Structure 1
Amino acid sequence: MRYRPFGRSGQALSTLGLKLSWSGARQSRQMVHRLIMTALENGINTYHFDSAHPDLLKTAAEALSVVERRLLFISLSAHEEGAADPAAQYALNPLRDRLKLVVKESGLKWVDLLMFHAIGFDRIPDQSWAFLDSLRRANMLKFTGASANTDRIQAVVDDGRFNILKTVFDIDTSWDKRHLLDYAIARGMTIFGHDFYPEAYRKASDVVPKEARRGFFGARPADPLAGSGTYAFLHQTNGWTAEELCLSFALTQPTLSTMLISPDTPDHLEALAEVPERMMPTSVPAQIEMARFSLQAAAARREELKKKA
């Protein structure tokens, strides 16, 4: 595992952070324990919890107790996963109950980062902010953050009360968004990435043209040039899965302090944990830019045809 500086705090975060939820772990304490132990064995020191379910937190605290707490970075969503209106949970009482569960009852001792949702970070009551300030003074909370994508990033940065921005970063991330991330960093914020693997490219059948595929039993040879200018290479690069290539590319972004991953199994986690140490094929960045340009050009042509119609 490799590590990156966490802003000016002096702390180093693992390039990959493990994102855990009670539903994602199949509501299994055994799965939570296995995932965390695998993460620790692979040098991951950054953990984000989408859920404050007691079984999830207590199991996590037990598994993480083998490491000094000061060497870990523990992040928690300020709302429960799947909340219809996250801001409703930012009122003083539910927020206080949630943090009490994490800090006092689970055994995690303190929260390094409390993360607010893009829908609601601007509706946190003053009483809740005052409570968070008291936790900071008591060293039970260190940082606050908010998740946002392109249209809300500037609002998070300009708010001035958040230390961390959590945002999607993948092979489709535009240069406009990258400039916004630079804007956030210039104002002292730290960037956490997530969702590096776009749903649209997960199936080879969705991105590999028919001409670039071999026929059944090899009856028709694949045309090696048919996939040029597309994302077909994601499923055609020897020794790499599409997911691993997407992750490797995302990790080339120097503004990210960590990339949060959500593996299904310990084996899946092992495979992703190897990516930071691997050398991405030198052709991949150019192939990504070609595919992105081709998609943009195709979209522009469709818009032009609509106007003519």
Structure 2
Amino acid sequence: MRYRPFGRSGLALSTIGLRLSFDKLGGNPTLLQKLIISGLENGINTYHFDSTDTAFLQSAADAFSVVDRKLLFVSVNAHDSHQVPDRNTYALPPLKERLRGVVKDSGLLWIDLLNFAQPGATILSDDCLNFLLSLQKSKMLRYLGGIGETDDIADLIESGEFNVIMTSFDIDSSWDKRRRIDDAMTRNMAVIAADFFPEMYRKESDVVPKAARRGFFGGKAKNPLAGAGTHAFLHQTPDWTPEQLCLGYALSQPSMSCILIDAESPEHLESLADVPERHLPSSVPAQIEMARFNEQSKAG
């Protein structure tokens, strides 16, 4: 595993972090703990939770107990996955109740990063902001993050309330989004990326022309170049899976402090944890740009 600076905080985050979704894991504490242990064994020190469910976080805290808590960076959303992140969700009474469970009842001891999403992130009440400040002064909360996409990032930056921007980033991310990310960095904000593997490129049948596909028994394709200039290369690059290539590309962007991965099993996690130590094939960045250009030409 490799590590990157977390803004100017003096902290270092593992280049990939593990996102743990209550819904995707079905609230399964055994699988949750297996993934965390595998993450720790692979040098991951950054963990993000999309739920404030106390039992879920207690299971995580039990798994974390094998290492010094100070070595970990734990990020939590201020809302649950089923909640709309609006003014009502972020009202002080329910927010206090959720954070009491996260900090006191779960055993996590403190929150390194608490994330607020749009549209509610930029309209937090003064009472809410004062409460968060009191948590920071008491060392129960370290940083505040804003979750948003391209059109949200400018508002999150201008609010002046956040230390971190959390946003999606993949091989199709626009130049506009890249500029917004650069804007955040010029304000001394750290950027954490997620959703690096677009759904539309996951199935070979969706991106590789039939003539360019290998036969059922590994036979040669009728026309290996049929997918040239498209995203077919994601399924044709030797020794790399499409997901690994997309992760490798995201990791090649120096503006990111950390890229969050979603793992279904310890084996899946290990296959992604190897990527930071590998060199992305030199042809891939050019293939990505060519595929993007051709897609834009078709759309235009």
Give the TM-score normalised by structure 1.
Answer: 0.94
Deviations along 1:54-104, one digit per CA (max 9) or x if unpaired, are 221111111101111111111110000121354422111111111111111
**Structure 2 match to 1:250:** 250
Q: Is the 8 A contact 1:113 1:145 kept in 2?
A: yes
Select the structure of larger CA radius of gyration.
1
Query: How many angstroms does 1:216 deviate by?
Result: 5.7
Q: What is the distance in 2 between the residues matched to 1:52 and 1:218?
A: 47
Q: What is the distance in 1 between the residues matched to 2:144 and 2:76?
A: 10
Give the TM-score normalised by structure 2.
Answer: 0.97
Q: Is the 8 A contact 2:5 2:11 kept in 1?
A: yes
1:182 aligns with 2:182: yes
The root-mean-square deviation of aligned C-alpha atoms, in Å, is 1.4
Amino acid at match of 1:74: V
Q: What is the distance in 1 between the residues matched to 2:141 and 2:51?
A: 17
**Structure 1 match to 2:260:** 260
Structure 2 unpaired stretches of 5+:
none
Q: What is the distance in 1 between the residues matched to 2:10 and 2:27?
A: 35
Query: How many angstroms does 1:209 deviate by?
Result: 1.3
Q: Is the 8 A contact 1:215 1:222 kept in 2?
A: no
Amino acid at match of 2:71: L
Q: Is the 8 A contact 1:6 1:12 kept in 2?
A: yes
**Structure 1 match to 2:66:** 66
Q: What is the distance in 2 between the residues matched to 1:215 and 1:20?
A: 37
Amino acid at match of 2:80: E
List, as ranges, runs of 4+ consecutive aligned residues in structure 1 with deviation greater than 3 Å. 84-87, 214-221
Q: How many pairs are equivalent?
A: 300
Query: How many angstroms does 1:220 deviate by?
Result: 7.7
Query: How many angstroms does 1:255 deviate by?
Result: 0.5
**Structure 2 match to 1:200:** 200
**Structure 2 match to 1:213:** 213
**Structure 2 match to 1:238:** 238
SS at match of 1:59: helix
Q: Is the 8 A contact 1:17 1:47 kept in 2?
A: yes
Q: What is the distance in 2 between the residues matched to 1:218 and 1:74?
A: 44
Q: Is the 8 A contact 2:85 2:118 kept in 1?
A: no
1:119 aligns with 2:119: yes
Identity fraction in percent? 54
Structure 1 unpaired stretches of 5+:
301-309
**Structure 2 match to 1:77:** 77
Q: What is the distance in 2 between the residues matched to 1:219 and 1:162?
A: 54
Query: How many angstroms does 1:218 deviate by?
Result: 7.4
Q: Is the 8 A contact 2:85 2:116 kept in 1?
A: no
Amino acid at match of 2:45: N
Q: Is the 8 A contact 1:21 1:56 kept in 2?
A: no
Q: Is the 8 A contact 2:163 2:190 kept in 1?
A: yes
SS at match of 1:158: helix
Q: What is the distance in 2 between the residues matched to 1:10 and 1:275?
A: 25
Where do residues 1-309 of structure 1 align in structure 2 (5 Å cutoff)?
Answer: 1-214=1-214, 221-300=221-300
Q: Is the 8 A contact 1:19 1:262 kept in 2?
A: yes
Q: What is the distance in 2 between the residues matched to 1:216 and 1:256?
A: 39
